[in-house]
Each structure stands twice: as structure tokens, then as C-alpha cells.
Amino acid sequence: MANPGQKVVLITGCSSGIGLRMAAMLAKDKKKRYHVIGTMRDLKRKDKLVEAAGDAYGKTLSLAALDVCSDESVKACIDGIKDRQVDVLRIGLVGPLESISIEEMRKVFETNVFGVIRMIKEVLPDMKKRKGGHIIVMSSVMGLQSVVFNDVYAASKFAIEGFCESLAVQLFAFNITVSLIEPGPVRTDFELKMIEDVKQRDCPGADPETVHFFKDIYLLSAINIFEAVGQTPDQIAKCVKKVIEASTPRFRNLTNPLYTPIVALKYADETGDLSVHAFYQMLYNLGPVLNFSVIAMKFLTCGCLRNRTVSPN
């Protein structure tokens, strides 16, 4: 367990991707400031994390089973911990709306929205009693600006943004900080595999024109964007570490400067038309020409607006 003076950091979704890198990075902190509780649904999937943590495993890293969709599992895990900080996870969903069942959509909300809320609800009373704590929620740029064919995933992230906006105000009086991390594309195995799977799949229920836009235009651009400007899970972990260690952590933390202008565009026009038209032009007219390289993204997202991100360096 944690030594006195060590912060206990609870991280969900540590079997892969961003959660795994965050757990390993914080557990290997040179000054040993953190005791990390790395959680995952199935502890049989612990090997990659154990390997990434090296010597820290068993010292500054311990493991616990946790399914954010289960009240019992969340309670059982939290019951064993004294001091708590929370990061949250996701599952993805992309494709034409007509081809996605309500059941699949519910699963996304159950994990991304109610999973986050369930975790926060469980740790909040202790944090309020202690008058201190830091809740770090993994949102996404898609929680601020939706991206075509990501309707349901973006809706789940928008929900969490609204939830945290009001919570942050309420918790201010209790000295509890809420921080949202807003990554753009991150190159995880999961993401690339999901895009490849979706490419092969039929889209039952969707009309041919929509399927063409989705597969031949959106997916190609999305793959290019992931390859050209996607960050690594390690870069996101570094950003999160900076947010944890900041003396006054920000509420919203974009991690990829190339996405700040896209978010700024949204706030520049309260009618929302500017974003709708700009995204339409970027994808359907400019997309096939520009091929979404880093240069194209820099050109599209005019440099002067690219500041105020939390940089991984």
C-alpha cells in the first residue's frame, strides 16, 4: 500500500492504451510520489502493464479488478482504498447511425457516461470529507466538437463534459479539482484495429450514398489523420502527469495543438453554422485533395490559434 506522503492514484482501463501508459509512467515516477492502483476488468490481461511497469510492480503499482459498469465491482474496489484520484475510460463506436443498434449505443453510454459517473459518485463522499482530491476524466476533442460518423461516441463525451462543468463548480468549495483531458486522435492498437474492422463490415440499414461517404471518404481521411497527427499513449500520459502535478490544474486540457483551432472555430460562431460548413468543406471537398498530412492539418488549423494546450514535452 501507499507510503505516507504518496498520492494514491486510481486509474481505470489499464490493460491497454492510454490507461496502461499512464499507470506505468506514474508508478515509475523518479521521486516515487504516487502509489498507482491500476485497474482492469479482467486481471488475466495484466501482463502488458506488469511488463511496462518493470520494478515498480508490487512497489508503487498494485492491481485491482474493476468494471465501471458494475455497482458491486466499483464499490468493492474503492472500499479498499483510502486516498483517491480517478481517471476514466471509454469504448468507441463509429459508423452510419442507421447501421448501429440502440443496444450498441447504450453500451457506449453505459461505459463512457454512467461508468464515469459511477466512479465519481463512489469516491466523492471521501474526498468531500477530506476537503481535497483531483478527479481527472478522459474526455476527448470530440466532447467539444463532434466529428462526422462519430455521433454516439461524441454524444457520450459531450454528456461527460456537461456533467463535469457543473460538478467542477459544486466541488470548488470542497477544494476538489476536476480536470478534463481532451486528446485528439491517439494511436492505440484498439483504434487502428477498429478502423480496419469497420472498413470490412457491411453497414446494414444505411443507404449506399451514406456508406460511400463513410467508407470511401471519411474512413480514408480518418486513417490519414491518425497516421499524420495522432499522438502516442505515452504523450497523453505525460500530459496527464503534468495536469496532476500542476499547482493550479486547468479544467480543460487539450493535448494536441492542431485541434485548438477546430475548437476555437466552434466558440467563434454561436450559431454553429461555421463549424458545420467548415467540416463539410474540409472532409468532402478538401479531404480527397489534401490527404490530411501534417502540413494539410497545419494549413487548415492556422498556426496563430495553436496555443494553450498542455504539451507532452
Ligand X SMILES: NC(=O)C1=CN([C@@H]2O[C@H](COP(=O)(O)OP(=O)(O)OC[C@H]3O[C@@H](n4cnc5c(N)ncnc54)[C@H](OP(=O)(O)O)[C@@H]3O)[C@@H](O)[C@H]2O)C=CC1
Which of ligand X, ligand RET, none is residue 89 near (CB under 5 to 8 Å by kind)?
A: ligand X
* Choices 63-71, 128-136, 242-250, 256-264; region in contact with ligand X by CB under 6 A: 63-71
Among 53, 113, 135, 142, binds ligand RET (CB under 6 A): 142
Q: Smallest distance from the beta carbon of 140 to ligand RET, in angstroms?
A: 3
Q: Which stretch binds ligand X (CB under 6 A): 7-15, 26-34, 124-132, 303-311?
A: 7-15
Residue 243, contacted partner among ligand X, ligand RET, none, CB below 5-8 A by kind: none
Residue from 88, 181, 225, 263 binding ligand RET (CB under 6 A): 225
**Closer of 109 and 284 to ligand X (Cβ):** 109
Q: Which does 12 bind (CB under 5 to 8 A by kind): ligand X, ligand RET, none?
A: ligand X
Q: Is 13 in the site for ligand RET (CB under 6 A)?
A: no
221 contact, one of ligand X, ligand RET, none, CB 5-8 Å limit per kind: ligand RET
Q: Which of residues 69-88 bind ligand X (CB under 6 A)?
A: 69
Residue 178 corresponds to which cell in the numbers above? 476536476
DSSP symbols for the chain = -PPTTPEEEEES-TTSHHHHHHHHHHHT-TT--EEEEEEES-GGG-HHHHHHHGGGBTTTEEEEE--TT-HHHHHHHHHT-SS--EE-------S-GGGS-HHHHHHHHIIIIIIHHHHHHHHHHHHHHHT-EEEEEE--GGGTS--TT-HHHHHHHHHHHHHHHHHHHHHHTTTEEEEEEE---B--HHHHHHHHHHHHS--TTS-HHHHHIIIIIIHHHHHHHHHHHPBPHHHHHHHHHHHHH-SS--SEEE--GGGHHHHHHHHH-TTSHHHHHHHHIIIIIIHHHHTT-HHHHHHHT-GGG--S-----
> Is 15 within any annotated ligand binding site?
yes
Give me the 140-179 binding string for ligand X, x by CB under 6 A, dash otherwise. Answer: x---------------------------------------
**Binding of ligand X by 186 (CB under 6 A):** yes
Q: Is 56 in the site for ligand X (CB under 6 A)?
A: no
CB of 13 to ligand X, least distance (A): 3
Dist CA 234 CA 285 (whole Å):
34
In whole angstroms, how far apart are CA 225 and each of 99, 133, 221? 24, 36, 6
Residue 10 interacting with ligand RET (CB under 6 A): no
- Residue list, annotated binding site for NADP(+): 13-41, 67, 157
Q: Which residues are catalytic?
A: 153
Binding site for ligand RET (CB under 6 A): 140-142, 147-148, 184-185, 221-222, 225, 279, 282-283, 287
